[in-house]
Structure 1
Amino acid sequence: MKFIRILLMLTLAVGIAACGNSKFRKYNGPEVTQIQVHKADRKMYLIHKTEVLKEYDISLGFNPVGHKQFEGDGKTPEGLYFISHHNPRSRYHLSVGISYPNENDLTYALEQGKDPGGDIMIHGRTNYDSRHKGDWTAGCIAIEDDDMEEVYSMLRKNTPIYIFP
């Protein structure tokens, strides 16, 4: 009987400890009204009106100079896009989708007889091979996993994201 009680207490303790390590955070601060990504500086800013709420160091596509045009070009898009969705099951810890390609991107790629690509995200680094330094994604914006948990909680669908060269 004493053994069962101890076993139950240990199970309860492990369960409570596991809940404390959730990657899903709560955010009750000011609304993020826009995101700015400055590719040249490798910085991302979450902004409320004119106030920078948070600043993050980022990694980009493995071929970061210039605007993404085609599938596999390794570039991160430039221009105005929007947060399209949250992905809690991302292979890169957590991710939020970016609305690339927009109508202009799609039209240009099709005129060139190519696929514009897609599935561009802001995501964490889980499963990242840390032997590679610098820019390493296929065109996404990558941040540390802890930072991604914070960003994931702060962003809402349709938040504008401005990606500058």
Structure 2
Amino acid sequence: MREISLGDVPGLVGKELGTSEWITIDQTMIDLFADATHDHQFIHVDPARAEAESPFGGTIAHGFLTLSLLSTMNFNTVPKIREQTMGINYGFDRVRFMSPVRSGSRVRGHFTLAECRFRGAGMLMTTYDVSIEIENEKKPALTACWITIVQFDPKDRPEGV
């Protein structure tokens, strides 16, 4: 994984930072997510019924399961900031679930740095335009505007920002 400095981040605004590795969303993952969230709707956990009664031809992943994979996709794709002491998920301005993710599908994330701004003495707020691609599908599983905060020691703040 490549590393960058805090001072490099503003120069990356508008650039795609990378594409994650493929992740397979199988039925076991879907079932475990259903158990964790208490969302056992048949389109997620009952393959026979989902095939017979849904337009999807089988079970599909929860949208929030797909969304939750952004954290690991980000960790393995976006360059590490040397001075970072902690990363914080600040939230989303927009999330759109564009296409269902069928059980057994592979997905990967695309990350573009849309904005960054220094806040306070030791924080950098970053906004990413993200999408999760489904292998061999034209439409993405989701698109989102994701906001994170990079914390760092104030002594490491680049001059002039």
Q: TM above 0.5, one fold?
A: no
| Larger fraction in strand | 2
Calculate the TM-score normalised by the size of structure 1.
0.26
Q: Larger Cα Rg: Structure 1 or Structure 2?
A: 1
Calculate the TM-score normalised by the size of structure 2.
0.27
